[in-house]
Amino acid sequence: MEAIIYQHRKTAGRIKFHIPYQAFGWREGIKALPSSMYHKQQKLWSIINDDKILQKLKQILGKNYRISTPDKGKTYKERPLTEQEIIHLAEFEKKLILKGYSKHTYSSYRIEFIKFMVFHKDKNIPELTKSELEDYVYKLLTVYKISETKQNIVINALKFYYEHVLGKERTFYKIQRPKRSKTLPNVLSEKDIIKLLNAPKNLKHKSILYILYSGGLRISEIANLRVEDIHSNDNYIFIKGAKGKKDRVTLLSHNLLILLRQYYREYKPAYWLIEGADGGQYSRSSIEKVFRKAVKESGVSPWATPHTLRHTFATHLLQRGVNLRYIQSLLGHSSSKTTEIYTHVIQINNKIVLSPIDSIIAENANFKVNT
């Protein structure tokens, strides 16, 4: 029997590995490892990215393992665009700009459209049929192993070109999409929030985490915050051009304000609230690194992401009885249905709701739980 430990980045939250089904002895030892988890859909195990735990795993496996790169499917073959493809791309980019799409959407759609043209090098792009588009998406799924999220981006980019650039009928290019996953947002406990916020020793890093959680901001929103967006007299943070190009305001915590005043005295930001070393915007990747480091140092859930703090902000407000409509406004959700997902988290986490067995035992004094 041979196990496979997959290569991982130093900054990765978890290390994935595969063991044969019949390895019952290994399985029992792995279950006893701190943070071990089985991923049913992927048929893989994982442990937290920690050298000591990794060494314990290797001791369990002995010499019966190998290090491997995860199968992420084939990689795209790049080539220079033809003169006609460059014209198609220019039309595509022009329409994206005219419609005012965000930089992130512009970049994502542009990349996928280029890949699409490269793949269909010997075909007339404007004349491709719906069936040929679906065949392309199918190949991306089966050969290149793209995710559901990536699949939707590809479909959106293709539909944009054929419907908005070429003016084709929407119904004709209605491509089959993946079934939407019904997942609950990942939420941290109040104790974990305290651990996470206290982890950074650097004042700027601590301020970033405080802003993300206390105001429920997205990672892109904190990167775009200006000094003038902190309205200390009226206790609110102004968020300019958030998702969907909507302005909104959110809470300015009293404790965050104290921290930001210390931060301002030390760093003296000129325009952007969180500045990089060169005085420009602090990058999204830098914010993610700050968060990942805090997660590792605090020992909270390795599955947490910067967006987890936004989910946690909403859930904790709901737990304290804040009206759902108010939370919807703070988060900038267009529909209340988007905000209502946090009520499902509350139903699971709320300590007021007891399991039926606990109620039965409480009402029957003679009932004993055998141990």
Q: What is the 3-state secondary structure (H, E, C) of the chain?
A: CCEEEECCCCCCCEEEEECCCCCHHHHHHHHCCCCCEEECCCCEEEEECCHHHHHHHHHHHCCCEEEECCCCCCCCCCCCCCHHHHHHHHHHHHHHHHCCCCHHHHHHHHHHHHHHHHHCCCCCHHHCCHHHHHHHHHHHHHCCCCCHHHHHHHHHHHHHHHHHHCCCCCCCCCCCCCCCCCCCCCCCCHHHHHHHHHCCCCHHHHHHHHHHHHHCCCHHHHHCCEHHHEECCCCEEEEEEECCCEEEEEECCHHHHHHHHHHHHHHCCCCECCECCCCCECCHHHHHHHHHHHHHHHCCCCCCCHHHHHHHHHHHHHHCCCCHHHHHHHHCCCCHHHHCHHHHHHHHHCCCCCCHHHHHHHHCCCCCCCC
Q: How confident is the model at residue 193 (pLDDT cuts 50, 70, 90)?
A: very high
pLDDT tens figures, 251-308: 999 999 999 999 999 999 999 999 988 778 898 889 999 999 999 999 988 888 899 9
The residue annotated as part of the active site, out of 243, 284, 293, 296, is 243
Residues of the chain with CATH 1.10.150.130: 83-165
Overall pTM > 0.95: no
Q: Establish whether 243 is a catalytic residue.
A: yes
Residue 225 identity (one-letter amino acid): L
pLDDT tens figures, 298-350: 998 888 889 999 999 988 888 888 888 898 889 988 888 878 777 776 665 55
Q: Establish whether 292 is a catalytic residue.
A: no
pLDDT tens figures, 203-236: 999 999 999 999 999 999 999 999 999 999 998 9
Residue 103, pLDDT score: 83
The residue annotated as part of the active site, out of 218, 292, 311, 316, is 218
Contacts of 63 (CB under 8 A, 6+ apart): none
- Name which residue leads in pLDDT, 122 or 366: 122
Q: How confident is the model at residue 170 (pLDDT cuts 50, 70, 90)?
A: confident
Class of domain 83-165: mainly alpha
Beta bridge partners of 251: 236
What CATH number labels 190-349? 1.10.443.10
Q: Which whole-number Å values give the CA distances from 176 to 49, 53, 73, 165, in the listed order?
A: 38, 43, 22, 21
- What does DSSP say about strands 44-48 and 14-18: parallel, antiparallel, or unpaired? antiparallel
Cβ-count burial 157-195 (b if 16+ within 10 Å, e if not): bbbbbbbebbeeeeeebebeeeeeeeeeeebbeeebbeb
Residues of the chain with CATH 1.10.443.10: 190-349
Q: How many CB atoms lie within 10 A of CB 143?
A: 10
Separation of CA 219 from chain center: 10
The residue annotated as part of the active site, out of 14, 88, 206, 333, is 333
- Name which residue leads in pLDDT, 276 or 96: 96
The residue annotated as part of the active site, out of 109, 161, 173, 342, is 342
Residues of the chain with CATH 3.40.1170: 3-68
Q: Establish whether 342 is a catalytic residue.
A: yes
For 3-68, the fitting CATH number among 3.10.450, 3.40.1170, 2.40.160, 3.40.50 is: 3.40.1170
Q: Establish whether 333 is a catalytic residue.
A: yes
Residue 289, pLDDT score: 92
The residue annotated as part of the active site, out of 248, 292, 310, 316, is 310
